[in-house]
Amino acid sequence: MKEEVPFLKVTSLTKQFGGVRAVDTVSFDLKKGEILGVIGPNGSGKTTLVNLITGFVKPDAGKVFYQGRDITGLMPHRIADLGIARAFQMVKPFYQLPAFKNLIIPLFSPRVKRLAGGKYGDRDAIAIDLLEEVGFERDSFVPFKVASVLPHGYLKRMELALCMALRPELIILDELFSGLSMAEVASMLPIIEKLMSENLTIIMIEHRLKELFRISNRVIVLNYGRKIAEGPPKEVMESEEVKKAYLGSETE
Amino acid sequence: MEYRKERIDRGIKARTEDIYALFSYREMLYLFVPRAVPILGLFLVTLLVGVYWQKVLISTAVFALLALSWDLLTAAGMVSLGQALFFGVGAYITGILNHYFKLSPLFTIPIATVGGGVVCTLLLLPVLRLRGIYFAMVTLALPLMLVRIIEATKIFGGTEGLSGLAGLPSTRFELYLGLIAVLVVLFFFRRLINTDYGLVLRGIRDNDRSVMRSGINIYWYKAQALFMASAVGAFAGALMTHVYMFVGMPVFEMDYSILPIASAVVGGMGTFAGSMLGAFILVPLSEALRGVGGLRIVFYGLFLVIFTVALPEGIFHYFQRKYHQFERWVKVEK
């Protein structure tokens, strides 16, 4: 019987910055349609892990397999071209451009052209549709406003739309909810749930544990670059090691 | 009584680049006049001035081309301190083709334009990954390096250069070739940068990581922008070579790197029209100051300082704002 190839397979990924092991022999598997949470205290290597998977940083050791294909060390645009989209924690849009024009760049990519059968279509219209999907009010002027006047919440939504524009199969969200109010997060959760219903695979790096645990059924916990726990949220948070990582150990 | 300045946009419809602009004569003129009047004025000037100022205008056109090329590179996030590289490579290719292979300018100029673009792009290809000042340092070093190579190996005439090259039919021909090239490049670049392709180039300047994660190969786009910019610079070099009927080490001089940047700063960068305007102010000014004698460079420098302090946005941006907005003083209500 043929063994099932995992959608994403990360094996003992390691990255050293000077004397610090930012990511230390981290391994995990991901099934298609799954939503994996990655949590851990500040500086535990979560963002570096994302950078390693998406090619922005080259690993010192370890491999990343995407749909059975070795993508370790590929250039970021090659990895994006294969269908892995990522949201940055720090949103840095093109401030002087209208919101919908910000989406033109992914819509202009070779991947989108290929998936649309060699034709780009009306990019402006597609961009506005995408912004509506992430909660920009359609019959308002919001999609046409320059990004510099948009509130942080809208910029975060736009970051999600930038990922969706690529028509990805795997989305990696690096602290999408950071800096948002409870209400804003609550209004964004249905968008993520909709993406899940479309069988997209998602990796969420989050500090907002309560919200994360509502949508994710499996989390991995990083501390000092090492994976210290993996499993369903409830079990993971019961683990002694995770408690120690978050609250500090009693002996110290 | 306190007053404040109120700014009111005018002609918004004409500025949306939408179909509105075609609805009324007033709006068509609003768009048409700022483009047509300077061009007609320029050609009128060429008819009135003598041979000396025609030569000055040719050199102005050459610097305007280099400034346009610099502006395109900057728009794509590549700061060049070595426009002389593009200029010099174009000049030498033309000179070599004409001197050794006896090709007529009809062939040497187009070949130098495309060939210069290819050569400069290949030379800078390994450093496309560098950003900002690191890329700038390499572009600064390359023309200086090429000059020493020519000096040391004595290739292509060494320090003497290649003289007695073919000239163009007449001064007027040279002048119009230069000016038409400037206008073609100006309108092509202005259009290009506002397309979605141009948006990607500007995206690379503002946030290259975001462009990469969008599945776009930024090095491929940078190489294309570099090719366009260096081809324009190489054309300028090729034209100048046939105007002087000589090519030698001076084509790699710092003048060709610095003056285009000064033009872009004085004129206002990012719009292409500003860079061109800057060249059309600085080069004739530098010639006009020749009468002053020894203090020429002092006055020239003073002018640059005054302009950058008084109008840091650039002349073009200033006039563009004045054209698009009413300004009036209104009382401040308390």
- Look at residue A252 and tell me whether its pLDDT is greater than 50: no
Average pLDDT of chain A is 89
Instruction: Say which residue, A121 or B118, is predicted with more confidence.
Output: B118
Q: Do A86 and B206 touch (CB under 8 A)?
A: no
Of B238, B193, B185, B181, residue with least CA distance to B68: B185
Amino acid at B3: Y
CATH number for the domain spanning B253: value is: 1.10.3470
- Could you give the CA distance from residue B186 to residue A2 in angstroms, rounded to a whole number? 61
Contact (Cβ atoms closer than 8 angstroms) between residue A46 and residue A28: no
How do residues A126-179 score in pLDDT, each as one tens digit?
999 999 999 888 778 888 888 889 999 999 999 999 999 999 999 999 999 988
Spatial neighbors of A94 by CB under 8 A, at least 6 apart, are: A101, A102, A147, B202, B203, B206, B207
**Considering only CB atoms, which residues of chain A are within 8 Å of chain B?**
54, 56, 75-77, 80-81, 85-86, 88, 92-94, 97, 101, 104-106, 108-112, 123, 162, 165-166
Q: Do A105 and B218 touch (CB under 8 A)?
A: no
What are the C-alpha distances in Å from A93 to residues A104, A140, B122? Answer: 12, 20, 32
The DSSP secondary structure of B146-198, one letter per residue, reads HHHHHHHH-GGGTTT-EESPPPPS-HHHHHHHHHHHHHHHHHHHHHHHHSHHH
What are the C-alpha distances in Å from B243 to residues B59, B178, B180? Answer: 9, 11, 16
CATH number for the domain spanning A235: value is: 3.40.50.300
Which pLDDT score, from 0 to 100, does residue B323 have? 85
| Number of domains present in the structure of chain A | 1
Q: Do B196 and A88 touch (CB under 8 A)?
A: no
Percent of chain B with pLDDT over 90: 64
Which pLDDT score, from 0 to 100, does residue A1 have? 47
In chain B, residues with a C-beta closer than 8 Å to the C-beta of A110 are: 215-216
Which pLDDT score, from 0 to 100, does residue A207 have? 86
| Number of domains present in the structure of chain B | 1
What's this model's pTM, rounded to 2 decimal places?
0.90
- Could you give the CA distance from residue B225 to residue B219 in angstroms, rounded to a whole number? 10
Q: Do A106 and B197 touch (CB under 8 A)?
A: no
Domain of A2?
A: 1-73+209-252
In a domain, A119, yes or no: no
- Please report which helix (H) or strand (E) contains residue A174, including its range: strand A170-174
Low-confidence stretches of chain B (pLDDT beneath 70): 11-23, 334
The DSSP secondary structure of A16-62, one letter per residue, reads EETTEEEEEEEEEEE-TT-EEEEE-STTSSHHHHHHHHTTSS--SEE
Q: Do A108 and B209 touch (CB under 8 A)?
A: no
In a domain, A108, yes or no: no
In a domain, A43, yes or no: yes
- Quote the radius of gyration of chain B (alpha carbons, Å): 22
What is the arithmetic mean of pLDDT over A196-200? 89
In a domain, A87, yes or no: no
What is the arithmetic mean of pLDDT over A175-185? 89
Contact (Cβ atoms closer than 8 angstroms) between residue A136 and residue A157: yes
- Could you give the CA distance from residue A189 to residue A197 in angstroms, rounded to a whole number? 12
In chain B, residues with a C-beta closer than 8 Å to the C-beta of A123 are: 196
Confidence band, pLDDT 50/70/90 cuts, at residue A2: low
Spatial neighbors of A242 by CB under 8 A, at least 6 apart, are: A221, A223, A228, A229, A236
Domain of B37?
A: 3-331
Which pLDDT score, from 0 to 100, does residue A61 have? 93
Residue B33: Cβ-neighbour burial (10 angstroms; 0-12, 13-18, 19+) = exposed
In a domain, A143, yes or no: no
Chain A nearest CA to B270, separation (Å): 13
Q: Do A92 and B210 touch (CB under 8 A)?
A: yes
In a domain, A64, yes or no: yes
Q: Do B199 and A165 touch (CB under 8 A)?
A: no
Tell me, yes or no, if B195 comes closer than 8 A to chain A by beta carbon. no
In chain B, residues with a C-beta closer than 8 Å to the C-beta of A88 are: 209-210, 213
